[in-house]
Amino acid sequence: MFHMWGGESMNRVRSTALALFAAVLVVGLVPVVAKADVDSFFRYAGSKPLSAYTPGEVLKTRTRQYHLLGVPTPLQAVQVLYRTTDAQGRPSANVTSVLKHPGKRIRGVVSYQSAYDSLNPQDSPSRAVAGDFRMFGLTPQGRNIHVGNVMANMEDAIMPAVLALGYAVNIPDTEGQEAHFAAGPEYGTNTLDSLRAISSVRSTGVGHKSKIGLVGYSGGAIASNWAAILAPKYAPEINRRIAGVSQGGLLVNPYRNLRYVSGSYGWGGVIGMAINGVGRAYGIDFDKYTTPYGKQVLRQLSDASILNFWYPGLTWRKLVKPQYFNPASVPPFVEAVNKLNMGTAPVPTAPMFIAQSDNGVLEGTLPGPPGIGLGDGVMITGDVRALARRYCRAGTSVEYHQYPLSHTTGPNLWGIETVVWLLDRMSGKRVPSNCGQIPRGNPDALKPLQHAR
């Protein structure tokens, strides 16, 4: 761990945590159970083609009570349907939700990218915010128990505390309305265009000059980092407003992560989720490459979430025909995963706080083979360090912390450190960096996957 807790830093964390807890108590909940909000708001049905709109243009808005676990609170949420761009560069429509504390002057906007990680569109944060809380029913395809929506609700529970500090909170549906799980560049455009859109809606309290902080862990880190990667060219007016990006548990080069989790007791099933997500986002039909068992697993996981994806010991080889045991022998897969490789993408310019754990054994994932090594159970620690060092060499300010924890326990430290780090960035304090102290990463961490010969 490259950051020691204690002294003034620890006191700031304690005082901040107490302030956040008090703010949650102040906001409170209304003890009324709400019915699921099921409507057409999440789809664009206008007469003009989406291509006639510019990225970030507002298509429609509405205001709803903000819900936790289906229970309405006194807070109001402004929901915005806006035009954005999908993984294949096509116009698409997406939804974001904006919260603000009544009576507070907006000091900036914290864009919280959720780790809802699901192949089911009904698990999106915007549906949870609007009161669409589903628990223990069947998913749309009838293949899984519906629990993924719980993740968005659990994460949303921290939002009132941020609001009480005077910041609007933006919560985009990072995977889009088709649930393109793991399609990083689309996560990025969905995030950036949500910020464009809310800056044009007066009722959000967010203006075209409001400072922006990007925050996300795991799937939320995919969105936050890809937004930072794409912003200088895709949305330069948004990039100029980004005060800082805090992320933890980062997916750097997805092909290598599939090798790391291969056979994992806790994380093996994410292989099937990733294949589904990449195939859906990039229009790849994996049927010709998979065995009957592989087809069964992929169908089962086609509307699963990160909370019900469990296939202990799953490997790529168990899913595909023998001639495709090497993933590099599947051309569309190679092309798609290389588009998701942060190591070959442009370097962000916004200051970054990056946290990564390294004790994946706690979640059933052994250290990877030589060249991969330790991870948090699903993300590869040496690959994250390699990416952080690449950013440092390019001149981006990076503060990197490493925890002796696992993927699901890492947020316990990351979340508290994020509050302190991000509030300092939003208030304009000097940007810290420990670039000179980040240990070397894996030598091949950032290399693209080559086609098999």
Quote the CA–CA distance of 38 and 60 in Å, as a whole number.
16
Measure CA of the first residue to CA of the last residue in the chain; give whole Å: 41
What would the mean pLDDT of 428-446 be, rounded to a whole number?
98
DSSP single-letter state for residue 449: P
- 171 three-class SS: strand
Q: How many CB atoms lie within 10 A of CB 29?
A: 15
Question: Beta strand 58-68 with 71-85: parallel, antiparallel or unpaired?
Answer: antiparallel
What would the mean pLDDT of 193-206 be, rounded to a whole number?
98
Lowest mean pLDDT among 33-37, 146-150, 219-223: 33-37
Quote the CA–CA distance of 336 and 355 in Å, as a whole number.
26
Residue 102: pLDDT band by 50, 70, 90 thresholds?
Answer: confident
Quote the CA–CA distance of 17 and 166 in Å, as a whole number.
16
Q: How many CB atoms lie within 10 A of CB 35?
A: 9
Residue 2: pLDDT band by 50, 70, 90 thresholds?
Answer: low
Integer-rounded Cα radius of gyration of the chain? 21
Whether the per-residue pLDDT at 6 is higher than 80: the answer is: no
Q: What is the mean pLDDT of the chain?
A: 89
Each residue's pLDDT tens digit, 326-382: 999 999 999 999 999 999 999 999 999 999 999 999 999 999 999 999 999 999 999
* Nearest residue to 378 via CA among 148, 156, 208, 217: 217
- 12 three-class SS: helix
Whether the per-residue pLDDT at 445 is higher than 90: the answer is: yes
Q: How many degrees, rounded to 5, is the angle at CA 365 between CA 362 and CA 370? A: 125
* Nearest residue to 55 via CA among 228, 237, 240, 244: 237
Instruction: Please tell me the pTM assigned to this model.
Output: 0.91
More confident residue, 380 or 71: 380
Which positions ≥6 away from 141 have C-beta within 8 Å?
299, 302, 303
Each residue's pLDDT tens digit, 24-65: 333 333 322 223 335 699 999 999 999 999 999 999 999 999
What would the mean pLDDT of 87-93 be, rounded to a whole number?
98
Indicate the length of the chain as a whole number: 453
Quote the CA–CA distance of 129 and 96 in Å, as a whole number.
10
Lowest mean pLDDT among 109-113, 126-130, 196-200, 284-288: 126-130
Residue 385: pLDDT band by 50, 70, 90 thresholds?
Answer: very high
- Tokens 């706690």, residue located: 362
Measure Cα distances from 48 to 44, 45, 84, 96, 197 in Å: 10, 9, 15, 21, 18
Each residue's pLDDT tens digit, 278-321: 999 999 999 999 999 999 999 999 998 888 888 999 999 999 99
